[in-house]
Amino acid sequence: MQELLKVENLSKNNILNGISFSVYKGEMIAIMGPSGSGKSTLLYCVSGMDKTDGGEVRLKDTELTGLSEEEKSSLRLHRMGFVFQQMNVLSNLNVVDNIMFTARYARGKKHEKEIREKADKLLEEFGISDIADHMTNEVSGGQLQRACILRSMMMDPEILFADEPTGALNQRAAGTVIDSFLKINREGATILMVTHDSKVALKCDRVLYILDGELRGELALGKYEPSKEEERQKKINGWLNSFGW
């Protein structure tokens, strides 16, 4: 497998303490741990949104920690995608305009036609084309989060970062959202996701456990198959229990 992201001895104040791991192309990885363990801080440091005190983060041939803030911003815009628990949509724009917003900013008006065509294709593929012209307060939380996933995919990112993407949703909506992540992962997207939900994590290829700013364990599950969900649930529950989860 091709190594896409390499994190080496990453440190941040007293929050992260020498964390190292790799992400390979096409993987979907969950980061778990108790509140305050450093999960979200790790995600922000790895993606260049937060400064680090030491260590290296390499996306293919690009070392992130040595870049200027402008260079990091450009890299996030063109090579990364982001999905957050708080959906960060613009309430004065409809759903499809929110989906196209980042791509419009990155590519400019001369690409408007192909940007709209791609947005329409994604909306159709993910079964929410009927809400394209709705305002953001007229759709459900699950629909809106799926729209945010589509927004994150508009620039064909090399890696997608997700911070508790189902945390604000009910169980049914969370299920549709994680199914959307599974879909884009099967189509080749690489995903690094923070979650507190073992039902989300069990659908990932690997799970990393962070405690007190240190990487304490890693569980390899392989690609998700619905027929083996119960077996995976038992495996991850036993593993999490070993950390006092």
Task: Tell me the average pLDDT of the chain.
Answer: 96
Phi, psi for residue 60 in degrees, rounded to 5: 55, -115
Question: For 44-79, what is each residue's pLDDT tens digit?
Answer: 999 999 999 999 999 999 999 999 999 999 999 999
Residue type, 94: N
DSSP character for 187?
A: T
Query: What domains are defined for the chain?
Result: 3-241 (3.40.50.300)
Burial class (CB in 10 A: 0-12, 13-18, 19+), 14: exposed
Distance from C-alpha of 91 to C-alpha of 127, rounded to nearest angstrom: 22
Q: What are phi and psi of 197, to 5 degrees?
A: -105, 115
pLDDT bracket for residue 33 (50, 70, 90) = very high
* pLDDT tens digit sequence for 229-238: 999 999 999 9
pLDDT band for 24, please (50, 70, 90 cuts): very high
Task: Report which of 21, 24, 32 is spatially closest to residue 197, judged by C-alpha positions.
Answer: 32
Q: What is the pTM of this model?
A: 0.95
What is the SS3 assignment for 119? helix
